[in-house]
Amino acid sequence: MRKPCCEKVDTNKGAWSKQEDQKLIDYIKANGEGCWRSLPQAAGLLRCGKSCRLRWINYLRPDLKRGNFSEDEEDLIIKLHALLGNRWSLIAGRLPGRTDNEVKNYWNSHLRRKLINMGIDPNNHRLNHTLPPRQNQHGSNSTTSSGPKSQVCEPYDQQMKSQGDNDQVSDAASYLNDESCSLPDLNLDLPITTSSPLTTAPEMKQHEPKATPALLLFL
């Protein structure tokens, strides 16, 4: 078996302190990203490289937007999820200043529920024939109260396979109706638009994938 990415002993876990954040920021400002495995020692942090990478990408990066998602962003996430499934990093790549973790959390805590309440199956973005059990007057919906823990998202391949058995198409899925269903082997590489000044930071995704005509059309 592969040895763990870091020694379990002598590494901090849990929430990051301000001092740790500052050390990480200082180090990356001085030396740039990369070499996560050796970074903690070099930066004087008692964390594993993975943890440092995650902290930087999800929280400390200067180009992060943070704050509430706009309606445009919500729409885009829903559309992209309909197209890509749980490819959070690809979806986040289309949302300047947003991280995959942030998009994933927002999906699980807000957008899934929103779609369910609209009678749309968030797994395949199609209208449910059987609408979800009506929320009782106090809004606690038994299908949603279990939250992300109960979520089982079909793999994208399975979603694609299952799309044939439902002829009602949701608003989001309707974007795909013709395009993606006839594209069994979608090229999921997406460009990361650099229209926002935020994305010009050197830390942004290094590998900028290419667009497919279908996706450009879709977007």
Q: Which residues bind DNA (CB under 7 A)?
A: 2-3, 5, 12-16, 34-37, 47, 49-51, 53-55, 58-59, 86-90, 100-102, 104-106, 108-110, 113, 138-141, 144-149, 151-153, 205-206
What is the SS3 assignment for 127?
strand
Residue whose CB is less far from DNA, 109 or 194: 109
Residue whose CB is less far from DNA, 108 or 166: 108
Q: How far is the CB of 37 from DNA (least distance, A)?
A: 4
Residue whose CB is less far from DNA, 13 or 29: 13
Amino acid at residue number 199: T
DSSP 208: -
Alpha carbon of residue 112 to chain centroid: 13
Q: How far apart, in whole angstroms, are the C-alpha atoms of residue 91 and residue 111?
A: 14
Per the CB < 8 A criterion, the answer to whether 53 and 45 are in contact is no
Q: How far apart, in whole angstroms, are the C-alpha atoms of residue 205 and residue 192?
A: 8
Q: How far is the CB of 167 from DNA (least distance, A)?
A: 26
Residue whose CB is less far from DNA, 149 or 167: 149
